Amino acid sequence: MTMPSSLSLLLRVSMFGSLVSVAAACGSAETDLDPRSPCTGPGCVNPSGGSTASGGGGGQGGEGGTLSNDVTGNVGVLNEPSFAQIGPYAGAATIFATSSTGMLLEAPYGDMVTSFSLPSVISGTPWIFVRDETLGATGILSTHSAVRVPSSGPVTLPVVDRNVLSSIAATLPAPIVIQTSRAHLIIKVSRNGQPLSGVTLTTPLPGAEIAYDTGVGLYSNQTNLTGAAGVILAFDVDAPATAEQRTFTLTDAAQQGFMIQLPIQASAATVAAFTL
């Protein structure tokens, strides 16, 4: 798999669970990176920025430390269908990020190296890419996620368990077999610190299969709204071999539109959470 061409985030975006929370809305962004003008069109809103979340996911920083743009930590596996718990990962990987000067950073991981260090990462909520170097032997997908920088301590970067996605897809009301050569998106949405129901991914994705939660760890591809867990899954998204930013629209129950941006890449997953 080729390394990503751009890992920087244009909006406040994050991983979920204990991954960094994010907010972005229709054409606007509160970010250190290339902010755009506020959205003023019909159905557009401009929500507040995100905050650091806690819990069992990835991207969680230490508490009370000195803030630093040096990102350190380890890698963990999102290994159950609610994508709220993360387990240890010791397989070989390479981790990519963007430096404060715009250079591509990379760090080895796995085997005898069970931690990583990326010096002087760009400020904001940059995307970080964990690339599987085991040729699929450990059962993970290379994964894009984001962290808040500067951080106050070590973070855990998530990778997605391929078998978890396959199991979810096989047990949908209209079962599918996922294509691991395509991109897969895992999106959590929240409001006021709680999972947000009634949200729809309204951007057309020809050839992809969209599923929404119907409760914690439960999904259906015969509904078009998030349930109590606020999770959207997009399987088999057509994507290039090299990562690129794509814009998607989320629409809430009040028909307010929120524009988000995610990196998508063939044979890789993207995990993110948005505070709408």
Per run of 10 residues, the mean pLDDT along the chain (length 276 residues) is 42 38 34 29 35 34 69 95 93 96 95 90 94 96 93 93 98 97 96 95 96 98 98 98 95 95 96 92
Per-residue model confidence (pLDDT) at position 178? 96
Show the tokens assigned to 61: 């920083």
Q: Which residues contact 204 (CB under 8 A, 6 or more apart)?
A: none
Which secondary structure element, helix H or strand E, spans residue 74, and what is its range?
strand 71-78
Do the bridges between strand 116-118 and strand 104-109 make them parallel or antiparallel, or are there none, so unpaired? unpaired
3-state secondary structure of 160: strand
Strand partners, 144: 129, 270
Angle ∠(168,172,173) on CA atoms, nearest 5: 170
Q: How far apart are CA 41 and CA 36, in angstroms?
A: 14
* pTM beyond 0.75: yes
Per-residue model confidence (pLDDT) at position 57? 34
Per-residue model confidence (pLDDT) at position 90? 87
- The CATH topology of domain 71-275 is Immunoglobulin-like (2.60.40)
Pick the closest to residue 253 from 45, 5, 111 (CA basis): 45
Tokens 């743009």 — which residue?
69
